[in-house]
Amino acid sequence: MARHELVLLPGLLCDEAAWAGPRAALASRADTFVPEYKNQDTIGGMARKVLDAVPYRTFSLAGHSMGGRVALEVARLAPERVQRLALLDTGYQPIAGGNAGDIERNKRLALLATAQERGMRAMGTVWAAGMVHSQQLETPLFEEILAMIARFTPGQFSGQINALLARPDATPVLQALACPTVLVCGRQDAWSPLARHEAMLQLLPAHVGSLRVVEDSGHMTVMEQPQAVAGILAQWLESAPHA
C-alpha cells in the first residue's frame, strides 16, 4: 500500500488534538502533518503560513471548520501542490451583508467579550455546547474540547474572529478545483449544516466532487466520530490525483 503525505488543518480554537483520532487511524497509510497558525488574523495569512511550514512538495489536504476555509485558500494560492482536497464541516461564503452579517458579527464579538471577561474555558462551555451532538455534552470528549479551547488566549481568539469576519469568498476556488475533493459534514452539524455542503457540491466540477455525511455527529466530526472520518479520508486518499 502506497503511503500518502497528508496535511490536516485545525478549525477555530482547535489544535492538533482535534485531529488525533483520525491521525492515529490513518497512521498505517499516511504521513501526517498538522500546521500551527493560531496567531494569524487573516485566512490568507494562515494559508501562507501553512505553505511555508508544510514539509512536502505536494500533499493531500484536509481542513476542518475554519481549517476548511484555510484549505481553500491554500488551493487558490498553490493549486499545483494540492493533490486532493477534503473539506469538513466548513463553508465558502464571505460574511453576509445587512442584518444577517450584523447578527453573525455581534454573536462572535459577544463570545470574545465572554472570553476576555471570564476566560477561555468559560466561553467554551457556552460556545462548544452548540458544536457537538447533544449526546456528547458532559462527556470526557466535551471536556477534551474545553481543554483544547483553554489552550488559546483571548488575543488569539480575537485574531481568528477577525479572520473569519473578513473571510474571502471561495466560490471561484470551488468552481476551479481540478483535484479529487470530498465534502464531509456531520448529520447534526448546526454550525455548518448539510445544506451548505450540498450547495458547495453544486459549485464543484462534476468529475471532482463528492459529499459524505457522518452520522450521529455535530460540527466536531473529527473528534466526535474519528473512525468514520478516517474511513472517509482513507477512501479519498486512494483516489487518483489530478495530472
* Predicted local distance difference test score (pLDDT) of residue 93: 97
Burial class (CB in 10 A: 0-12, 13-18, 19+), 153: middle
* Predicted local distance difference test score (pLDDT) of residue 226: 98
CATH architecture, domain defined by 4-95+168-237: 3-Layer(aba) Sandwich (3.40)
The residues that bridge with 6 in the sheet, in sequence order, are 32, 60
Burial class (CB in 10 A: 0-12, 13-18, 19+), 167: buried
Cell numbers linked to 104:
453573525
Assess contact for 232 and 157: CB atoms under 8 A: no
Element of type H or E holding 216? none
Distance of CA 145 to the CA centre of its chain: 15
pLDDT above 60: residue 243: no
Cell numbers linked to 159:
485574531
Condensed to tens digits (0 to 9), the pLDDT of residues 195-208 reads 999 999 999 998 89
pLDDT above 60: residue 103: yes
Name the residue with cell 490513518.
26
CA 69/CA 35 separation, integer angstroms = 14
pLDDT above 60: residue 58: yes
Mean pLDDT, all residues of the chain: 96
Question: What is the mean pLDDT of the segment spanning 65-73?
Answer: 98
Closest CA to 49 of 37, 39, 60: 37
pLDDT above 70: residue 242: no
The string over 63-84, giving b where at least 16 C-beta atoms fall within 10 Å of a residue's C-beta and e elsewhere, is bbbbbbbbbbbbbbebeebbbb
Helix boundaries (H) for the chain: 20-25, 43-53, 66-77, 98-118, 120-127, 140-150, 154-165, 171-176, 194-203, 221-224, 226-237
Of 77-81, 204-208, 233-237, the poorest mean pLDDT is in: 204-208
Cell numbers linked to 47:
494559508
* Predicted local distance difference test score (pLDDT) of residue 1: 58
Question: What is the mean pLDDT of the segment spanning 44-55?
Answer: 98
Condensed to tens digits (0 to 9), the pLDDT of residues 131-151 reads 999 999 999 999 999 999 999
* Predicted local distance difference test score (pLDDT) of residue 206: 86
